[in-house]
Amino acid sequence: MSQWNQLASKESIDKTIEALKANGIEAKFVETSEEAKKEVLSQIPEGAEVMTMSSTTLDAIGLSEEVNKADGQFKPVRDKLYAMNQQTQAQEMNQLGAAPEWTVGSVHAVTEDGHVLIASNTGSQLGAYAYGALNVIWVVGTQKLVKDTEEGLKRIYEYVLPLESDRANKAYNISTGSFVSKLLIINKEIKPGRITLIFVGEKLGF
């Protein structure tokens, strides 16, 4: 399983970035998580509405906390969601999470031919990534680069799922673990500039 946790070579990164751009996804590489954090914050306009998706990558680099802090420069969607009632405002909450102005998160695998794979138990982040959000930014450690979609699926089921199940069990006492209930594969983005993927030369997330 160590094969799924090795940082990619420069050759592989360059090849993947070129392929992503050809598929309508903006992509770039930075060396450190601090650079990635600064890059994300510089791209989002002050006062913008931002939804941070649940992500061990964002948590690890302090980006979730930075975007969602009460006296920050953005309007966190999560503040609105936390103030709402799941029993009486479920549909409104779904709409807010699925169609924010900006959404920031990560992914589980990126192929050298420019495809992106995101697995989910609930599917809560997938609508925004696929279509709903006006702008999407992903921060991705280069250990998530794979040769093709088949390898990406293997990475998700053989490596990501066991780690996420363990995390969920510890965090929420979910003894049954997590499931790949829903899977999004983005082969191409038809709206140029909508999605930006920032590769980081560090092992971040699963």
The Cα–Cα gap between 58 and 29 comes to 16
CA distances from 52 to 62, 102, 124, 151 (A): 12, 9, 12, 27
Sign of CA dihedral 9, 14, 19, 23: positive
Q: Which CATH architecture has domain 2-200?
A: 3-Layer(aba) Sandwich (3.40)
- pLDDT at residue 42 above 70? yes
- pLDDT at residue 54 above 60? yes
Residue-level pLDDT at 177: 67
Residue-level pLDDT at 72: 79
Q: What does the domain layout of the chain look like in residue ranges?
A: 2-200
CA distances from 24 to 19, 188, 205 (A): 9, 6, 25
Single-letter residue type at 182 = K
pLDDT digits over 117-160, tens only? 999 999 999 999 999 999 999 999 999 999 999 999 999 999 99
For residue 179, what pLDDT band results from cuts at 50, 70 and 90?
Answer: confident
